[in-house]
Amino acid sequence: MHSASPSLDSLRRTAPLILTPLLFALGFVAMWGAAVEVLKTPEYIVPAPWDLPRAVPSDIADHVWVTAQEVLLGFLVANALAFCIAVLFVQSRIIERGVYPLAIALKTTPIVAIAPLLVLWFGTGLLSKVVAAALISFFPMLVNTIRGLRAAEPEAHELFTALRASRRQRFLRLQMPTALPFVFAALKISASLAVVGAIVGEFVGAKAGLGFLILQSSYNFETAQLFVAIIGAAMLGILLFAVVSLAERALCRWERVAV
C-alpha cells in the first residue's frame, strides 16, 4: 500500500484548523439571527446578520485599507524596536535597570489618555495612528524577547563557552533559536493590540478608517454599519494573527505549535 502524499498529510492537519472555527462562527451567526427573530430586537439595537450586507458602505475598502496600513506599520515598527531594545537589555544590565521602568510606565498609561497628545503632536494623518498602534504593541515583544533570550539552559551556555564561541555565535546559534517561540507568542499578542491602537487613534482624530467609520455610524445610529466596521476591525486582527501563525509554523518546526 502506498503511503499518503505529503500534500494530503498537510491538508489533513490544516483542514481542522480552518473548518473548526468556521463551523463555530456559522453556529454563532445562526444563534444570533435566531435570537434577533425570537426576541423581536429592533435593528437599531442589534441588527440581524442578513441585514449587514446591505449596510456595507460603498467606500468600505478605502476605510479598511487606511486602518490596515496603520496596523501593519505600527505592528512592524513596535516589534522591530522592542526586539532591538530587548537584545540591548540582555547585553547590558545597567541599561535594563535604567530604561525598563520607563517602558513599564509607558505600558501602564492607557492609550486612550495618550491618543489626544499624539494627534496634537503628529496631526490627524497616518503618523499619529501608527504611533498609537506601535505604543500599545511594544511591551509584549519587549518582555517576551528578554525572557526568551535568557531561557537557554546553563549547560548549553557552558558548552558554548567550552567551544570558545563568540558573543555573536552564542546569540545566533543558542539564544535566538531558544527565543523564537517567545518572540512569536509576543507577535500574536501584538497582532490584536495593533488593531486596538489604530482604532483608538482614529477615534480621537481621523478622516478615514474603520475607527472613523465606527464613530460616524454611532453618531448616526446606523447600528448595522457599526457592526460591519467592528467585524472589519476584528478580521484585520485575525488576518494578521494568521500570518504570524503561518510564519511560526515555518520557522519553529521543532515546536508543537498551537494556533
**b/e per residue 134-159 (b: at least 16 CB within 10 A):** bbbbbbbbbbbbbebbeebeeeeeee
Nearest to 203 by CA among 88, 141, 113, 91: 113
Q: What is the pLDDT of residues 100-118, one digit of tens each?
A: 888 888 788 888 888 888 8
What pLDDT does residue 1 have?
Answer: 46
Q: What is the pLDDT of residues 154-194, one digit of tens each?
A: 777 777 777 777 777 878 788 888 888 899 999 999 998 99
Mean pLDDT of the chain: 84
User: What's the grid cell of residue 23?
Assistant: 463551523
Using the structure block, give the residue that is written with the C-alpha cell 442589534. 46
Please write down the HEC assignment for all residues of 89-127.
HHHCHHHHHHHHHHHHHHHHCCHHHHHHHHHHHHCCCHH
Q: What is the pLDDT of residues 31-76, one digit of tens each?
A: 988 888 888 888 888 888 888 888 888 889 999 999 999 999 999 9
Query: What is the rounded average pLDDT of the residues 220-231?
Result: 90
What pLDDT does residue 15 have?
Answer: 65
Q: Check residues 6 and 236 and name the one with the higher pLDDT.
A: 236
What pLDDT does residue 195 have?
Answer: 93
Nearest to 209 by CA among 137, 133, 122, 134: 133
Distance CA 64, CA 93 (A): 42
Query: What is the rounded average pLDDT of the residues 229-242?
Result: 92
What pLDDT does residue 233 have?
Answer: 93
Domain ranges of the chain: 1-40, 55-251
Q: Check residues 217 and 256 and name the one with the higher pLDDT.
A: 217
Q: Check residues 191 and 21 and name the one with the higher pLDDT.
A: 191
What pLDDT does residue 228 have?
Answer: 92
Query: What is the rounded average pLDDT of the residues 190-207?
Result: 90
Is residue 85 over pLDDT 80?
Answer: yes
Nearest to 233 by CA among 248, 254, 217, 249: 217
Angle between helices 210-219 and 223-251 (to 10 degrees): 160
Superfamily of domain 55-251: MetI-like (1.10.3720.10)
What pLDDT does residue 150 have?
Answer: 86
pTM of the model: 0.82
User: What's the grid cell of residue 123?
Assistant: 496631526
